[in-house]
């Protein structure tokens, strides 16, 4: 049965690949997939293959809308338990396509599988890229129910680059939320702390605040200062100076306007940082100048005072 189905797949693909007929075929595939109880499991995988494996997931769009039904839970189980990398990629392709209605709800059914996927199947370039896209669309909060530490393990395995990101602004909030969790502070790869610095100093770090007549309003992502003392203490005690360097930049760039991060512990931590990493003195200045040019605001005087105090104290070798 399995062999015959895949022979059918090859025949169908050779007939429709690269033609408008394939585009017309895909909506029928998607609609049929919701009727899971009527379909052999192998046929489901073949339908996904015919529908998506030969489309370019980076550019091609399918304007199809599905109603989220109980059958999708079964489809997820079938596909992920097959442990076939490309079949899993086919499903993620189907549910992460632009203009595909209810994608975020459907992807939520995949979280428990996604966080352990790298331990179960080899990641082809296509599966890796589609997993990155899925993480981007689900967001940090969507993974909290299956364990933040497991989610961080997936992120660290993926080694996401800027070139992997479809929507960089989605990654700003995701990484900030992850870092502000206790697990993220301890375990998230330094790579992502550097990414958040880059995003904080760029024009792409925004969060949605309101939907008004189908228009999404955005504001620049802002830091909740309440998390910062714990993160600074944790990084200082662990002597994670490279992460602390990044966090100092993130704090100053994302701090809500008019809010001073405070003195004392922050000044002391900056002093310790400058002693351990003298290059951080210049790097923080460069980040703040880049931020200033991006957002069109002057570098805060509170930063200049704190930076000068910490630099001079570090040079003196005083407390």
Is position 257 within any domain? yes
- Residue among 166, 169, 108 nearest 141 (CA): 108
Average of per-residue pLDDT across 215-221: 53
- Residue 317 is assigned to a structural domain of this protein: yes
Q: How many residues does the chain have?
A: 319
Query: Who's near 209: CB < 8 A, 6+ residues apart?
Result: 217, 218, 219
Answer yes or no: is 212 within a domain: yes
User: Is residue 69 one of the residues assigned to a domain?
Assistant: yes
Using the predicted structure, report yes or no on whether residue 266 has a pLDDT greater than 50. Answer: yes
Tell whether 155 and 289 lie within a shared domain.
no
Q: How far apart are CA 240 and CA 179, in angstroms?
A: 13
Evaluate whether 114 touches 154 at the Cβ level (below 8 Å).
Answer: yes
Range(s) of the domain holding residue 150: 21-166
Which position has the higher pLDDT, 285 or 36?
Answer: 285
Three-state secondary structure call for residue 207: strand
Last residue of a domain, one of 107, 132, 166: 166
Q: Residue 256 belongs to what H/E stretch?
A: none
Q: Is 37 among the domain residues?
A: yes
Kindly state whether residue 11 falls inside one of the protein's structural domains: no
Residue range 14-53, pLDDT digits in tens: 544 555 555 566 556 655 555 545 556 677 777 777 767 7
Residue 172 lies in a domain: no
pLDDT mean across residues, the chain: 79
Using the structure block, give the residue that is written with the tokens 């900056």: 270
Distances (CA, A) of 197 to 6, 149, 181, 193, 211: 47, 22, 17, 6, 28
Domain annotation covers residue 273:
yes
Distances (CA, A) of 146 to 100, 107, 116, 152: 25, 13, 10, 11
What is the domain count for the chain? Answer: 2
């Amino acid at each position: 049965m399995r062999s015959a189905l895949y022979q059918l797949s090859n025949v169908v693909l050779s007939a429709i690949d690269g033609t408008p007929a394939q585009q017309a075929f895909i909506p029928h595939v998607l609609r049929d997939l919701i009727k899971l109880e009527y379909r052999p499991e192998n046929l489901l995988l073949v339908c996904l293959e015919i529908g998506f494996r030969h489309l370019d997931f980076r550019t091609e769009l399918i304007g199809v809308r599905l109603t989220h039904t109980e059958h999708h839970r079964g489809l997820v189980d079938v596909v992920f338990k097959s442990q076939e990398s490309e079949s899993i990629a086919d499903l993620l392709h189907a549910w992460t396509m632009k203009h595909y209605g209810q994608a975020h709800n459907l992807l939520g059914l995949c979280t428990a599988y996604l966080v352990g996927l790298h331990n179960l199947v080899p990641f082809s370039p296509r599966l890796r890229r589609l997993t990155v896209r899925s993480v981007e669309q689900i967001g940090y909060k969507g993974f909290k129910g299956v364990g933040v530490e497991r989610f961080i393990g997936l992120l660290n395995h993926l080694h996401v680059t800027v070139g992997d990101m479809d929507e960089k602004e989605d990654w700003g909030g995701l990484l900030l939320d992850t870092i502000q969790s206790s697990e993220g502070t301890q375990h998230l790869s330094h790579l992502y702390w550097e990414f958040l610095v880059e995003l904080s100093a760029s024009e792409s770090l925004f969060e949605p605040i309101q939907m008004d007549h189908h228009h999404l309003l955005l504001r620049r992502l802002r830091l909740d200062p309440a998390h910062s003392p714990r993160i600074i203490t944790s990084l200082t005690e662990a002597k994670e100076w490279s992460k602390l360097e990044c966090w100092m930049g993130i704090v100053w760039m994302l701090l809500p306007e008019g809010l001073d991060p405070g003195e004392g512990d922050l000044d002391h931590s900056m002093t310790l940082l400058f002693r351990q990493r003298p290059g951080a003195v210049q790097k923080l200045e460069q980040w703040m100048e880049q931020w200033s040019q991006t957002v069109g605001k002057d570098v805060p005087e509170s930063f200049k005072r704190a930076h000068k105090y910490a630099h001079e104290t570090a040079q003196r070798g005083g407390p």
